[in-house]
Structure 1
Amino acid sequence: MTTIKTPIIPSHQQFAEVHASHELDKKAICIFAATGFFLDSDTYWKNKKVLPTASDNILDDNGFLIVSKPWFQWHYSPRDISFEAALEEFTALFEQIISEQHTDSNVILPLSGGLDSRTQAVALAKLKKPVTAYSYSFKGGFSESGIGKRIAKACGFDFKEFIIKPGYLWPKLEALASINQCYSDFTHPRQMAVLEEFKKMEGLFSLGHWGDVLFDRGAPEGTREEDLLDIIIKKIVKKGGMELATALWQEWELEGDFESYFRERIASLLNKIKIANPSAKLRAFKSLYWAPRWTSVNLSVFEAAHPINLPYYDDRMCKFICTVPEEYLADRKLQIAYIKQQNPALAKITWQDHRPYNLYTFERNKSPHNLPYRIGNKLKREVRGKLGKPYIQRNWELQFLGMENDEKLQERLFGQNLHPFLSKPLIARFYNNFKAVDAVKYSHPLSMLLTLAMWNDCLRREN
């Protein structure tokens, strides 16, 4: 027998066999189509499950799950402490985690224009760690690298800039399918574009994933508990996702209707979280079901180059969050205060979500103060469009737009016989809607159909 203890937020999916028929779990795949990730312990197969988070699991010698018991449950137990005390505790804990994760190694730090990696940069600079930082920007999009370069310079880090070019995905599809096993859609892991460059670097990755969830309000102010189900569904279902899932449900002639089944699944999982505070409860739901099945899946791309560390995933950080009053977590207060206190120079650099403002001025990011920037930015995008240089904002635009991309896409979707898993009329319906109706809405269904087609192709080749 084998005993496996999973972390509070696992960075890897660990699978086990269960006693069920070896057939496709088509209901689970419909949820995957709607959201871009599998829910709870679901996989493509009924007899294969992912081990739950924060659990002790016993497997027999054949890999079958015998028993699974939780060793931790998310809770909300706010202590009666001042904000200053909470900040002091966060500072000590965060810097301890960073130090332990990179005791004897060089650090590879992805830098964005946000707060999570900037918080890591503060700690790494204080600890005098040798760091190679990098940023990437879309070709023809906002220069995220511009902010990252300023942060790196202020910290004394080496810096590399990567430009994510159109069509990078097509020659890398098979490699990506092997890395993430088709458990996430294919248009989001832009790090795949520079995987070979990653391999040339030296050190361990320090990744800032999930900081924006732990260190912000979980739900909008004034949210009632009875509102959470609709809020969750709105957050996790992608544009066009419900339509694709419903189409698959009907084509596979599954009992009932998809939306009712989906709502019942989410409601059941939500009811298991024994937290009264709606904001903390929503954060717990995301950390239980979104982080390990969406965010963690594509961490495997980084890991294909070098080992990874995730300070915000640390069990101690999750336990700490459960004891911090919501008002201190809301609106990124702790991270902002930490950066301003420990490295004011980084706090003065533009915060991408509130550009052109920084951590001292972002509260001015509202009308009428931000009108000049918003108008100027809109005019720049319109001028680029008129010159035939569209402003790239989303990863799918690099993969699906343009003649060369379209040829590769059609080859993948229509160049193989996917029946009875996916019918050509269903694929054609969503492809045509993307081309002629609404590219933004139907980009997600197209990405999911591509992912499912790749999974089916991998399965066929294995057999």
Structure 2
Amino acid sequence: MKTIKTPILPTHQHFVKVDAPHELDKKAICIFAATSYFLGTDTYWKDEKVLPPGTINTIDDKGSWVNSKPWFQWHNTPRDISFDQAVSEFTELFHTVCREQAGDNVVLLPLSGGLDSRTQAVAYSKLENPVLSYSYSFHNGYNEGAIARKIAEVLDYEYNDMTIPKGYLWDKVDELAKLLNYGTEFTHARQMAVIDEFRKMEGIFTLGHWGDVLFDSPVPKELTEENVEEWLLQKVIIKGGQELAEALWQEWEIEGEFMPYLKIRMKEVWDAILIKNVSAKVRAYLSSTRAVRWTNLGFTIFEATNPVQAPYYDDRMAEFICGIPEEFLSDRKIQIAYLKNQSPEVAKITWQAQKPYHLYNFHLNKTPHNLTYRIADKVQRLINEKRGKPLIQRNWELQFLGMDNDEKLQEHLFGESLHPFLPKELITRFYNSFRTKDMVAYSHPLSMLLTLAVWYRNEVK
């Protein structure tokens, strides 16, 4: 017997065996198809599970899961503190976590135009570690690297600019599939495009994942206890995902209907979270599901080249969040105050989500103040489209559009029979819908079918 204690936000998934038939868990796969990640402890197989977060688990000598008990439960017990005190405590905690995680290593820091990596960048400027920063932007996409470069220049960091090229997926799809353990669709992992550049680096990656959920309100202000569960349902289902899940459910002749089953499974997780505040409860739900079954999967790509740390995944960060008044967490207030306090120059660099504004004036990002920028941006995009350089905003556009991409996609989807797991008629239906109806709406189903096809071909056939 051995005991495994899982973190509140695990950076890795720990697979164990359970006493069940070695059969496909088709209900779990349908949820996967709808949302892009498995729910709870589900995997592709009925006799394989993932250990839940924040638990102490007993595993027998054969690797089978014996029992599990929680050592942490998400809660909402805000302390009676001032906002300035909350910012001060965050500053001390964040610097401590960053210092401990970095050790005496070179810090490999991905920078974006957002706040999470920017907060890390400022924190590491308070330490003595050498920092190698970098950013990547889509080919013909928004130049996110321009913001990252300015941050690096202000903090005197070495900086590398990378471009995510068109069609990078096809030469790396099998390697990527194994790194992700087939646990999510492939087109989101854009860092795979530059994995060879990562291999040239030496140090420790520090990733800013999940800071945007912990340090913001994840729900609209008008959301109430009465309508939150329906809102959450629509939030987790990706566009086109329900149609694909229902098609698979019907094709596999599963008893009942998909949507009632999904609602029951989600409600089990929801009801187990003993929090009354709607915003805090949604944050806990997402942290218990999406963070540990989807967000952290991308860590494995970085880890294939260098060790990985994630400051926002530290147990102490979750504990801290549970004791902070929800008002202080909304609208990124704590991170914004931290950046203004610790590096006013960095705070004055464009915030991508509020471009062209920064942390001191983003409140002006509304009509009529932003009208001139919006018009100029629209005109520039129209000019680029006429020049044959439309703006790339989504990962799938680099993988599915164009003749070369289409040839590779069809090869993976139709190259050999996947019947009865994925009948050709079903694949054809969604492929044709993507090509002739609505590319945005059917990009997710097509990407999920690609993921399922590669998994079945590599792991089952």
Q: Which residue of 2 aligns with 1:252?
A: 252
Q: Which residue of 1 aligns with 2:419?
A: 419
Bigger drift between 379-388 and 431-440 goes to 379-388
- The 8 Å contact of residues 110 and 117 in structure 2, kept in 1 or not, is answered as yes
Give matches, 1:47-446, under 5 Å: 47-446=47-446
Mapped partners of 2:295, 2:88: distance in 1: 28
> Offset at 1:443?
0.3
- The 8 Å contact of residues 104 and 129 in structure 2, kept in 1 or not, is answered as no
> Offset at 1:128?
2.9
Mapped partners of 2:218, 2:278: distance in 1: 8
Secondary structure at 1:296 match in 2: helix
Letter in 2 for 1:449: L
- Aligned-pair identity in percent equals 58
CA shift digits 1:402-424 (9 cap, x unpaired): 00000000000000110000000
> Offset at 1:129?
2.0
Letter in 2 for 1:344: P
Mapped partners of 1:311, 1:200: distance in 2: 24
Letter in 1 for 2:359: L
CA shift digits 1:85-128 (9 cap, x unpaired): 11110000000000001121000000000000000011101113
**Superposed structure 1 runs of 4+ greater than 3 Å apart:** none
- The 8 Å contact of residues 38 and 293 in structure 1, kept in 2 or not, is answered as yes
Mapped partners of 2:330, 2:56: distance in 1: 32
> Offset at 1:378?
1.3
- The 8 Å contact of residues 218 and 281 in structure 1, kept in 2 or not, is answered as no
Mapped partners of 2:228, 2:58: distance in 1: 33
Secondary structure at 1:357 match in 2: coil
> Offset at 1:460?
3.7
Mapped partners of 1:366, 1:40: distance in 2: 40
- The 8 Å contact of residues 17 and 47 in structure 1, kept in 2 or not, is answered as yes
> Offset at 1:457?
1.2
> Offset at 1:261?
0.7
Mapped partners of 1:71, 1:460: distance in 2: 36
Secondary structure at 1:200 match in 2: coil
Secondary structure at 1:360 match in 2: coil
CA shift digits 1:6-25 (9 cap, x unpaired): 00000101011111111000
Secondary structure at 2:172 match in 1: helix
The CA RMSD over aligned residues, in Å, is: 0.8
Unaligned runs of 5+ in 1: none
CA shift digits 1:208-255 (9 cap, x unpaired): 000000000132113212222112112111110000000000000001
Letter in 2 for 1:188: H
Secondary structure at 2:273 match in 1: coil
Letter in 1 for 2:150: R
- The 8 Å contact of residues 385 and 391 in structure 2, kept in 1 or not, is answered as yes
- Equivalenced residue count is 461
Letter in 2 for 1:357: Y
Q: Which residue of 1 aligns with 2:40?
A: 40
Mapped partners of 1:190, 1:317: distance in 2: 27
Letter in 2 for 1:307: P
Q: TM-score, normalised by structure 2?
A: 0.99
Unaligned runs of 5+ in 2: none
Bigger drift between 276-285 and 257-266 goes to 257-266
Bigger drift between 124-133 and 352-361 goes to 124-133
Q: Which residue of 1 aligns with 2:8?
A: 8
Mapped partners of 2:107, 2:299: distance in 1: 16
